[in-house]
Structure formats: structure tokens, C-alpha cells
Structure 1
């Protein structure tokens, strides 16, 4: 259930008749107040440790309120693979300085970016399968995997004969890269452009690098994909995939 702080969360649970041992950690001290997503994140964290037969009271409120009583069945044993909430919290990367935090939160004035290309909503909708879902195309004839989705296979020239494959959960390694010191911002003065080779049929992925020291990027470095906000324009947030060094945890 949602609460703005740890004390309110505990008091709300006690008021409902639960003891402290029955309350799920709201992750306020490790993740922060995520608003509408908080109750769902806490539910996922609880399910990661759940056993068949466990019961949960899931509730949230805002413009109205909802409450559900959930019972865990045997299928929980088949869905515990992956990093999960705990794994992501354990693999977090701390910011080097408080100044960088202020820049990310736009609390310090920054010079305008040299390059700022807005994404049209129509284009985003048309390409949503690879832009937002991170899907590539796998040719049914020769098995070539490409990202983004291509209608024509550039190995065998087969047209519209492909299946979509998910690449965002696959590990990769840096194939080649470049450092751009002109297109950066105050928060990220150096932009690292990377071509990574995915473990999925050695598909090549072109993305920006994040969460790393630009000077440490090297060919062969293990990386993974992460979904990030790229920019905001006219009140519309643009998201896309970036690459970051492979993290431990989970």
C-alpha cells in the first residue's frame, strides 16, 4: 500500500490490524517515493519471496481506493527468474556528486543542448515495437537478426518474412564505440556512442552509453540494455534504450 513516508506506512498498517512483521518494506529508504508505482513495486518485491499459499492484501488510493486479497499458487515457482526488484536495488549506481543530482533534477541552470531533435508522436506510434519494446526482426529464411526492425533482410533480401524477437533482456558486448565531446550537456559532458553485439544471433545494436565513466569504455566490455528518458519537449517525454555496463546483483 502507498504511504508518503515510513512512519505513515507503519501507522497505516497497524491501524488496519497488522503487526510490523506482516508489513512489506515500502522501499522508501532504498528507492524513494515513486508515487503511483510504489504499491505495485512493493507487491512485486513481496511476490519475489512468496511461497504457494501465502496471501497478500494489496491496496492503494488516490482519486478513490482499491483493495485486493491475493493468494499465491504453485505457478509462483516458475516466475522467480530474473533480476527482480531486490536485484535492481542491489545493483544501483550512486551518483558521484550532489551537483550531478541537481543537474539531473533540473535544479541548476544548464546551457541549451547543441542538438535537440524532437520525436513526432506519429513516428513514435509507428515505430513503437522497436522504440519502446526493444524488438528486433529475425529473418525466417536465413536467421539474420537486425535492430531496429527491418522489412527487408540485408543478408538474403527476403521481404516481410520475419518474426519479432526481444533484445532488451539479452546481454551484449561492445563491438565498437566513439566519444563525442560536443553534443553533451552539463550533466553528461561526454556522450559515448556504442555499437554492441547482442548474444541473440550477434545482432548489432547502436545506442548511447550511460551509467559509466566514458574513459573506461572498451571493446569487448559486457553491457546490457536499459530504458531511459532521453529528453522532454513541449511537455512530452521521449524514451529510448541505452546501454550500460553489465551490473551485478539479481
Structure 2
């Protein structure tokens, strides 16, 4: 299995990453563990999950995927054999997510730290190799939306500087090795990179996990140049 460096993080990952968002909805825990064992046996060392999984998200299944993986890690051990990524959920009014994810989730320092520590506990691990912001806190065109409608003048969201500072704190504490973005825009990606450029002691965004397929080629417009 070919391996590549994850951005400039120094973390080596397999070219294929095992996604997990069906575990707990379309797949049982036994099937999840079978897929994990099969992936590692065939050279896939990169596992990606999220606190929100499985999808479609709902209160009854919230965090179930991480719990499945945590049970597998507890049974298997050898945590350093694989690269584990998870994500902190951003705010959304869809499916009433805001009502049960930390009582109204955002990317404030308190919320990111709370979410990370909860994921570590569910996953039965002391650290995450990659911790991603699942989608922007800002009201932008993610999850397949095109274009941005007029934004409210009083729209409030956590400053990107505060977010990066908090993620840097988690890096220094050894709870995460790197942080990444997901469903992010070119503007947002550059803001995160600029924060590191202004203060190299802060972590640099290592990766971005955006949709890219035959039906959604929006990545080619601006994100490809940044990549």
C-alpha cells in the first residue's frame, strides 16, 4: 500500500483512508470491527471518523461510530499501528443538531476542548493524530450548496485566531498531533494558513477534507490552487 505524508505534518498515511460514517446506521459493530481488521491487514493505516457519525445524524445514534472504534481499540491495542482522525461538529439548525450536541455547539475554546476530550474517551485513546473542524461555523456554501446569499450583518462566529490558538493548545498538551479542515472554502482555508504564517509557533492546517467527485467538482475552482 502506497503511503504519503499528510500535508507537511510528518504523519505518513496510506493512500486509501477508511471512512466510517455508516457504522452504527447501515453497519453493525461486528461489521465495523471486521472492516477495521481487513483494512489494517491490507496496508490501510488511516481511519477517519467524527463525533457526529453515523449519518444521517440524529440524537439516538450520535457518537455511536466513535464508540464502535473505541471498543475495537480497547480489544486490539497497538494504537501506534494506525493513524486516527476525528472531527468536531460545527453548528447547524438541520435535524435539530444544535439541541443535543453540547447544548448548542460552536468552535469556541471551551467547546473544542470539551469535544476533543469526549472523543478521546469514546475512542479509548490518549491522542488523535488528526483533529478536523467538520464544517465551518460561518454561514457559507458547504455540503453541496453553491453560492452565498446575503449574510446577516450581526452574524457572529468564533474568530479563526481563537480556533487556531485552541488547537495549538491541544497540540502542546499531546492530545492531537495535527489539525485539519473539512468542507471549508478557499477564503477560510487561507485564513487558517495565514494564522500559522503570522505565528509559526502555532500549528499549520495539515489537510482539508472536501467533497470531490464526478457530481461535485467545485474543488477545482479555488481549492485546487491552494492545495
TM-score (norm 1): 0.22
More strand by share: 1
Q: Which of structures 1 and 2 has the larger relative contact order (alpha carbons within 8 angstroms, sep 6+)?
A: 2
TM-score (norm 2): 0.23
Larger of the two Rg values belongs to structure: 1
More helix by share: 2
